[in-house]
């Protein structure tokens, strides 16, 4: 049976970024204590004991705000309930300036071997506009501290398409990121979510509308520079040095099982069932404290849903979807079933067929939603 991944959501941050619509709020130590106890109750109640697991991901929020002792307690109960491989990839999201060198060393000694580092941009003016709580000097210092603490697998998160961001500023950002030689790069185009301060600033004309066409140019430029520097473009938004792909995130795209704990966490059994927890942290905590299940939504996928997901999640990976394997799994020839769509996408240069593989081109990666819509 395919090894599962575990996700643990830590919904606390030291400030609220202007574009953020994640399930997260300001860090309060009493609430964080209660939340960790709630997480431990939820994991303790897990019944499918002994499942093979080879990745754990602490996301948020800013999980690095927790004390090493709190993470140690969560890991202990995960190791108790699941059969976790000795070579498991264990990732912690860390924001610049959110952990001292001692704390980073303590995290590393818990077996955490991968850091997902929320750099976002190396431009102080842009960081300030985003409402981030760090500046470039914090990012450089924390990155150096991560290396000193023996983190040999570090991923940078970078955002392109910020309001008012010029190509020149973006290029300086990417040069700075590449000069630090992280093992992995995750690259996001800014999305403006309604209800966020950023959306309100744009509505009132305080900040300009993001320029999607320019963001596309930034994306292409970044891919060219990073691939020339030896990074492999393995997923629409992700690049890595050889062998350093995010083993955890790849599970989301290739249909492997993953189990999420904490508020707003999502799970998938790897067959056809998805479920998710209460989004609100206080609701989550009070439900688990009462001994009830925090699951608030369950979905049984139909065979058509599972087939569609195999295509549009699989296409996110630049290696593409293997048509022969798809036929073996579902008894359907995708090339025949979607002949017209595939012909149209190939002619438009969005998709390419290579033997039994169908994959997005670089242009297709940028316009992926257009392609995915045909398979939903
Ligand atoms: S650090 Fe991340 S999760 Fe926290 S407020 Fe900023 S964008 Fe949201």
Q: What is the pLDDT of residue 210?
A: 85
CA of 259 to the centre of ligand 1 (A): 22
Overall average pLDDT of the 1-5 stretch? 93
Range from 49-63, 177-191, 200-214, 350-364 carrying the lowest mean pLDDT = 200-214
Mutating to test ligand 1, I would choose from 24, 134, 262 the residue with most ligand atoms within 8 A of its C-beta, which is 24
Residue 207 has pLDDT above 90, yes or no: no
Within 6 Å (CB) of ligand 1, which residues are found?
13, 16-17, 20, 22, 24, 60-62, 95, 118
Q: What is the pLDDT of residue 131?
A: 86
Overall average pLDDT of the 337-347 stretch? 94
| Residue with CA at minimum distance from ligand 1 atom 3 | 61
Q: pLDDT by residue (tens digit) across 114-126?
A: 999 999 999 999 9
Return the number of other C-beta atoms located less than 10 Å from residue 59's C-beta: 21
| 61 prior amide bond cis, ω within 30 | yes
Q: For the whole model, what pTM was predicted?
A: 0.96
Residue 23 has pLDDT above 90, yes or no: no
Bridge partners of 232, per DSSP, are 240
Of 298, 297, 321, 294, nearest in space to 309 by CA: 321
pLDDT band of residue 133 (cuts 50, 70, 90) is confident
Q: What percent of the chain has pLDDT over 90?
A: 86
CA of 16 to the centre of ligand 1 (A): 6
Are 296 and 276 spatial neighbours (Cβ–Cβ below 8 Å)? yes
Tokens 């580092």 belong to residue:
117
Angle at 326 (CA atoms; ends 325, 331), nearest 5 degrees: 110
Greater confidence (352 vs 133) lies with 352
CA of 214 to the centre of ligand 1 (A): 24
Q: How far apart are CA 119 and CA 42, in angstroms?
A: 31
Distances (CA, A) of 372 to 251, 310, 316, 335: 19, 11, 9, 15
Q: pLDDT by residue (tens digit) across 230-259?
A: 999 999 999 999 999 999 999 999 999 999
Residue 66 has pLDDT above 90, yes or no: yes
Overall average pLDDT of the 327-341 stretch? 93
| Residue 302 per-residue DSSP state | P
pLDDT band of residue 376 (cuts 50, 70, 90) is confident
Q: What is the pLDDT of residue 294?
A: 98
Structure tokens at 38: 């709630």
Structure tokens at 62: 């800013």
CA of 128 to the centre of ligand 1 (A): 13
Q: What percent of the chain has pLDDT over 70?
A: 100
Q: Highest-confidence range of 14-28, 100-114, 357-371, by mean pLDDT?
A: 100-114
Q: What is the pLDDT of residue 120?
A: 93
pLDDT band of residue 209 (cuts 50, 70, 90) is confident
Of 146, 65, 137, nearest in space to 105 by CA: 146
pLDDT band of residue 77 (cuts 50, 70, 90) is very high
pLDDT band of residue 355 (cuts 50, 70, 90) is very high
Q: What is the pLDDT of residue 24?
A: 84
Q: What is the pLDDT of residue 184?
A: 98
CA of 343 to the centre of ligand 1 (A): 41
Q: What is the pLDDT of residue 164?
A: 87
For the CA of 19, the closest atom of ligand 1 is 7
Are 238 and 185 spatial neighbours (Cβ–Cβ below 8 Å)? yes
| Residue 208 per-residue DSSP state | P
Angle at 36 (CA atoms; ends 248, 158), nearest 5 degrees: 40
CA of 17 to the centre of ligand 1 (A): 5
Mutating to test ligand 1, I would choose from 19, 20, 159 the residue with most ligand atoms within 8 A of its C-beta, which is 20
CA of 61 to the centre of ligand 1 (A): 5
Are 4 and 49 spatial neighbours (Cβ–Cβ below 8 Å)? no
Residue 12 has pLDDT above 90, yes or no: yes
Of 375, 306, 323, nearest in space to 345 by CA: 375
| Residue with CA at minimum distance from ligand 1 atom 2 | 61
The DSSP code sequence of 229-286 is TT-EEEETTEEESTT-S-HHHHHHHHT--EEEESTT-EEE-SSSEEEEE-SSHHHHHH
Overall average pLDDT of the 10-28 stretch? 90
Q: How far apart are CA 107 and CA 204, in angstroms?
A: 43
CA of 172 to the centre of ligand 1 (A): 23
Q: What is the pLDDT of residue 211?
A: 87
For the CA of 61, the closest atom of ligand 1 is 3
Range from 18-27, 46-55, 78-87, 282-291 carrying the lowest mean pLDDT = 18-27
pLDDT band of residue 38 (cuts 50, 70, 90) is very high
Return the number of other C-beta atoms located less than 10 Å from residue 219's C-beta: 20
pLDDT band of residue 135 (cuts 50, 70, 90) is very high
Bridge partners of 5, per DSSP, are 55, 258
């Amino acid at each position: 049976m395919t090894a599962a991944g575990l996700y643990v959501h830590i919904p606390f941050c030291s400030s609220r970024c202007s574009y953020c619509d994640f399930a997260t709020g300001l860090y309060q130590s009493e609430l964080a204590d209660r939340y960790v106890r709630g997480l431990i109750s939820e994991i303790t109640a897990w019944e499918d004991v002994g499942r093979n697991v080879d990745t754990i991901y602490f996301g948020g929020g800013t999980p690095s705000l927790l004390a090493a002792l709190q993470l140690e307690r969560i890991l202990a109960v995960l190791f108790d309930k699941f059969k976790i491989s000795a070579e498991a990839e264990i990732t912690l999201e860390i924001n610049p300036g959110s952990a001292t060198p001692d704390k980073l060393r303590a995290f590393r000694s818990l077996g955490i071997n991968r850091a997902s580092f929320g750099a976002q941009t190396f431009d102080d003016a842009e960081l300030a506009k985003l409402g981030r709580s760090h500046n470039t000097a914090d990012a450089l210092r924390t990155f150096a501290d991560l290396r000193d603490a023996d983190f040999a697998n570090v991923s940078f998160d970078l955002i392109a398409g910020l309001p008012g961001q010029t190509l020149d500023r973006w290029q300086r950002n990417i040069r700075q990121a590449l000069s630090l030689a992280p093992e992995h790069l995750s690259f996001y185009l800014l999305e403006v979510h309604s209800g966020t301060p950023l959306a309100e600033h744009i509505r009132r004309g305080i900040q300009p509308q993001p320029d999607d066409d320019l963001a596309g140019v930034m994306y292409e430029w970044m891919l060219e520079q990073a691939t020339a520097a030896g990074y492999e473009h393995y997923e629409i938004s992700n690049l890595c040095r050889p062998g350093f792909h995010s083993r955890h995130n790849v599970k989301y795209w290739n249909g492997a099982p993953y189990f999420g704990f904490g508020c707003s966490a999502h799970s998938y059994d790897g067959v056809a069932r998805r479920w998710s927890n209460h989004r609100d942290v206080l609701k989550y905590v009070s439900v688990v404290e009462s001994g009830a299940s925090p699951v608030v939504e369950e979905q049984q996928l139909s065979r058509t849903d599972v087939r569609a997901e195999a295509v549009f999640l699989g296409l996110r990976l630049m290696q593409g979807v293997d048509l022969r394997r798809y036929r073996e799994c579902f008894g359907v020839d995708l090339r025949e079933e979607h002949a017209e769509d595939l012909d149209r996408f190939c002619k438009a240069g969005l998709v390419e067929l290579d033997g039994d593989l169908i994959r997005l081109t670089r242009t297709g990666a940028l316009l992926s939603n257009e392609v995915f819509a045909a398979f939903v």
